[in-house]
Structure 1
Amino acid sequence: MHSHAERGNDHARGASMTSVLSAKLLQALAPWRNAPAWHVAFSGGLDSTVLLHLLATLANTDTLPPLSAIHVHHGLQAAADAWPGHCQAVCDSLGMPLRVMRVQVQSGASLERAARDARYQAFTEVIGAGEVLFTGQHRDDQAETLLFRLLRGAGVRGLAAMPAHRPLAGGHLVRPLLKASRAELEAYAREHQLAWIEDPSNADPRFSRNYLRHRVFPVLTQRWPQAVSSLARTAEHLSEAQGLLDELARMDLQTADQPSPFPWLALPSLVLAPLRELSDARQRNVLRHWLTPLTRLPDSDHWAGWYSLRDAKGDAQPLWRLADGQLHRCGERLWWLPTTWSEFSDASVSWPCPQNPLELPGNGQLKFIGKAPEGPLAVRYRQGGEIIEVPGRGRRDLKRLLNECGLPGFVRGRLPLLYQGEQLLAVPTLAGLWAMSPGDWQLHWMPQTCDQGLS
């Protein structure tokens, strides 16, 4: 733990540093002044300690939203057990409420990423609608992020590095110190005699970021003293470029994002024809934009799946497997099926009291509109060769009826069929495509919706 009381010559420089940092912070805070609450992610390290002190000082002179700190305790190293106590003491001295959240870090390939995921999961639990979480990343972090991602072959979105703000849960994640350097933060901390924690893992060069920070950047800045600010500026240029790519994607989506003929099927879908008109690069851009909220995307070498999906013959039913689901093509429409969509059981379900809605495992629910037929009834799924009585049309082959209405292939296997004994009594109305049943009732199916696991 560090406590700095180096005054004297540093004093004048420190005072000016305080005003420089405060000015940068004020500018970054301007858009968020009317948020219902502000939270600070407080690790106890240098960056978040300076940010917390700056905000607490500002709160003495300005009217700000209610301010509180959050410390996430990962429990990954013995030294960390003392940190919540340190953070509590700092917050007490500033008169600021602190919430300590203990998380379990999943073991996996990248400990850094797993710890980060656990941290952000904790943050999403705290952030209310419209509220803001401030984190302490600065310009040096931005430069390290850009170089790190460059070495991993990231695209424009990755090289735009850390955005100054982005949505988080129902609120916002904001990084108000991105324009400040680590040296400025250190000078501020010395000037105000702040105490902070040095995380021992920050010195471990086995972590890629630490290797860049301690081994690579000193060599770079020896030869190019402005390397950090130049790289941070490059990240800003790339962020602007990504903004333009997103704008282009939204324009390209307008023509492809037409309502589906099956409004009851709550799955994201696009019309293929307008996408075919675009160059390959624009197709990838619009699909990245559309799929980013839905799944992790492949790198640029792995888009062959998209081309074979796009170029397959009209009667084929190709699909492209992605990390968190599948992109299906049915005729001239693309459909996104999240992994949860396939978690469905096609075992038959008995329906002894046909009045109530019937929950179908992983497949939404069924209900009657009008007076239900006498039970006992059962719900089964397609085996092939089903025949159904259609009012005014006689006995018809179910497969042919489904072909007529163009129902996507991936839905057919989970279409609930209503049986009375061995007789196929009814198929769901499916948005008016089926005429009324012989009685005065209709069978209505509500498949899984977005809030039931289709994100």
Structure 2
Amino acid sequence: MDDQDFEAHLLDALKPWLPSGRVWIAFSGGLDSTVLLHAMVALAARQRLPEVRAIHVHHGLQAVADAWVEHCQTVCLALGVELCVRRVRVDPGSSLERAAREARYGAFQALLGPGELLLQAQHQDDQAETILYRLLRGAGVRGLAAMPASRPLAAGRLVRPLLGVPRAVLQAYAERHGLNWVEDPSNTDTRLARNFLRQEILPRLRRHWPQAPAVLARAAAQQAEAQVLLQELAELDLQSCRMGPPLDWLDFPCLDLDALRQLSSARQRNLLRHWLADFGRLPDSRHWRGWEALRDAAVDASPRWRLDGGELRRHGRRLVWLESLWCAAWAGQEQPWAALQKPLPLPANGTVWFEGAAPAGRLSIAYRQGGEILDRPGRGRRDLKRLLQEAGIPEFIRPRLPLLLREGQVIAIANVLDCAGHGKLRWRPPCTHSPGQTG
């Protein structure tokens, strides 16, 4: 692929997203991003393109990280490109690679303005490596789609215009133009899974199947297409399974469990993967027995399926998603409430306020402990547990439901039972999921 063909490929890959307010190049200083930056500058000299800038993320994980910054500054100065350097903190954890990636993308998201593009230089060999890595980790269709050619990112869009280009083409381009780049010493450490695939496995595959990277990249594209079809099917199924929350003041995402049971097991899992993607990390294949146990449990059971970031529960014919805040054990402390004319914030439990004439006496907000009895004028004594059952309050909400006490006696239940002869206790529960995700 000569320079003209290379630039034509680059322009064709970018055409759907141009013009843009600005084009950023994720510039590490390595071979791939150096070629992409150089080619974009050459293309901008012959085509009407938006302003091209570069961003270098300084992770501070290598002793030579400061030298990389200097190298990137030198390259950008020679090309007449403005360079933005972002220093990030990488939180230690079980996976340093993942933590570095999250920090890097955090910097990208903070940088991108509306309509701007971030170009990354992953190529065909990177795509082949990714699909092999995910295949060996047991990924499904979504994971085997590997890296998308483009996707939304913050207010802008991430684009990978070189995914169809072999690394050898980039190497040849760099040598033709006498480009200089840096090498990450950690790339030679084959104890790391990706490096092992890159250094040991892919070269062996090429010796037997020279087109192996292209074939694997094509397989990733086919998986991406299959994933689109699965998402479209999930959206169709979601239309028939959407359901509002059990009470209008509970903003919980819900599905109709009866409608969900009418689908095949494969379509149930497909719909749940699609639905749960907004709420947390998806379960792997080993954990789907939890869904079957919840789905098939007896009517009077209280099953739960614990997932990363929360859990699924049942309430009548509803399947309810509860974020982790609602799943923790609750032992809320009693809070004095001297001024009912002002809303009272509750620690990790939203806010209460009172509508109407305030009752006299020492007032406080407390929570159910068990065995509470309410005296109702003209209606006798009522058991709190029975009142909550009759009101349809989900079992998992009852421990957090604020109670209004006067001199230690329950006189009102938030959103459920008014204070006789006075007013209403209102409660806005903590909202922990993003707007638009309900149902």
TM-score range, shorter chain: over 0.9
| Residue number among 73, 78, 88 corresponding to 1:103 in the alignment | 88
Check the 8 A contact 2:31/2:182 in 1, yes or no. Answer: yes
Q: What is the aligned partner in structure 2 of residue 78 from structure 1?
A: 63
Q: CA RMSD in A?
A: 2.2
Q: Is the 8 A contact 1:418 1:424 kept in 2?
A: yes
Residue 263 of structure 2: SS of its match in structure 1? Answer: coil
In the alignment, the residues of structure 2 paired with residue 363 and residue 349 of structure 1 have an alpha-carbon distance, to the nearest angstrom, of: 12
Q: Which residue of 2 aligns with 1:286?
A: 271
Identity percentage over the alignment?
55
| 2:207 aligned residue | 222
Matched, 1:167 2:149: no
Deviation at 1:236? 0.5
Residue 256 of structure 1 deviates from its aligned partner by: 1.1
Residue 191 to residue 371, structure 1, CA distance change in 2 (3 Å): farther
- The residue correspondences of 1:355-394 to structure 2 (distance < 5 A) are 355-374=341-360, 376-389=362-375, 393-394=379-380
1:15-54 matched pairs, under 5 angstroms: 17-54=2-39
Is the counterpart of residue 425 in structure 1 residue 411 in structure 2?
yes
Q: Is the 8 A contact 1:40 1:70 kept in 2?
A: yes
Taking the aligned partners of 2:115 and 2:375, their CA distance within structure 1 comes to 54
TM-score by length of 2: 0.93
Q: CA deviation at 1:117?
A: 2.1
**Residues 29 and 419 of structure 1: CA distance in aligned 2, closer, same or farther (over 3 Å):** same
* Structure 1: distance between partners of 2:158 and 2:406: 56
Question: For the Cα contact (< 8 Å) 1:309–1:318, is it kept in 2?
Answer: yes
CA–CA distance in structure 1, aligned partners of residues 349 and 52 of structure 2 = 44
1:319-378 Cα shifts (integer Å, max 9, x gaps): 011122111112211111122334565111111222111110000101123343346421
The verdict on how the C-alpha distance between 1:422 and 1:267 changes in structure 2, with shifts beyond 3 A counting, is same
Structure 1 partner of 2:432: 450
Can you list the C-alpha shifts for 1:242-299, whole angstroms capped at 9, x where unaligned? 1111111111111111222323222222111111011111111111111122122232
Query: Structure 1 residues 418-427 or 293-302, which shifts more?
Result: 293-302
Deviations 1:218-238 (A, max 9, x none): 111111111110110011011
Asked if 1:211 corresponds to 2:193, the answer is no
Decide whether aligned partners of structure 1 residues 370 and 452 sit closer, same or farther in structure 2, where only a CA change above 3 A counts.
Answer: farther
In structure 2, what is the equivalent of residue 348 of structure 1?
334
Take 2:41 and 2:382, find their aligned partners in 1: how far apart are those partners?
74
Q: 2:304 is matched with which residue: 307, 311, 319?
A: 319
The amino acid of 1:299's aligned partner reads: D
Equivalent residue, structure 1, for 2:136:
151
The count of corresponding residues between Structure 1 and Structure 2 is 436
> Could you tell me which amino acid in structure 1 is paired with residue 124 of structure 2?
R
Q: Distance in 1 between matches of 2:36 and 2:234?
A: 36
**1:59 matched to 2:41:** no
Amino acid at match of 1:418: L
Paired residues of 2:374 and 2:411 also in contact (CA < 8 A)? yes
**Which of residues 220, 224, 227 is equivalent to 1:235?**
220
> Is contact 1:159-1:235 (8 Å) kept?
yes
| Secondary structure at 2:371 match in 1 | coil
Cα pair 2:353 2:426 within 8 Å, conserved: yes
Corresponding residue SS for 2:6? helix
1:244-283, aligned counterparts within 5 Å?
A: 244-283=229-268
More displaced 10-residue stretch of structure 1: 19-28 or 243-252: 19-28
CA contact 1:391–1:437 (8 Å) conserved in 2 = no
Given the alignment of the two structures, is residue 396 of structure 1 paired with residue 382 of structure 2, yes or no? yes
State the Cα distance separating 1:108 from its structure 2 match: 3.1
| Aligned partner letter, 1:191 | R
TM-score between both structures, scaled by the size of structure 1: 0.90
Residue 164 of structure 2 corresponds to 179
Q: Closer, same or farther in 2 for the Cα pair 1:290/1:101, shift >3 Å?
A: same
* Aligned counterpart, 1:331: 316
- Relative to structure 1, is the Cα distance of residues 188 and 314 closer, same or farther in structure 2, using a 3 angstrom cutoff? same
Are the equivalent residues in 2 in contact too, given 1:314–1:332 (CA < 8 A)?
no
Is the Cα contact below 8 Å between 1:133 and 1:173 reproduced in 2? yes
Quote the Cα distance in structure 2 between the aligned partners of 1:68 and 1:449.
39
Deviation at 1:389, TM superposition (A): 4.9
Whether the 8 Å contact between 1:326 and 1:336 is mirrored in structure 2 is yes
Deviations 1:39-63 (A, max 9, x none): 2211111111111222223333334
Within the alignment, does 1:117 sit opposite 2:102 as a pair? yes
Once residues 78 and 44 of structure 1 are traced to their aligned partners in structure 2, the CA distance between those partners, rounded to angstroms, is 15
Task: Could you tell me which runs of 5 or more consecutive residues in structure 1 were left unpaired when the two chains were aligned.
Answer: 1-15
Per the TM alignment, residue 170 of structure 1 is displaced from its structure 2 partner at its CA by 3.5
Alpha carbons of 1:242 and 1:83: their partners in 2 closer, same or farther (altered >3 Å)?
Answer: same
Q: 2:391 aligns with which of 396, 401, 405?
A: 405
CA distance in 2, matches of 1:411, 1:144: 47
- The answer to which of 177-186 and 358-367 deviates more is 177-186
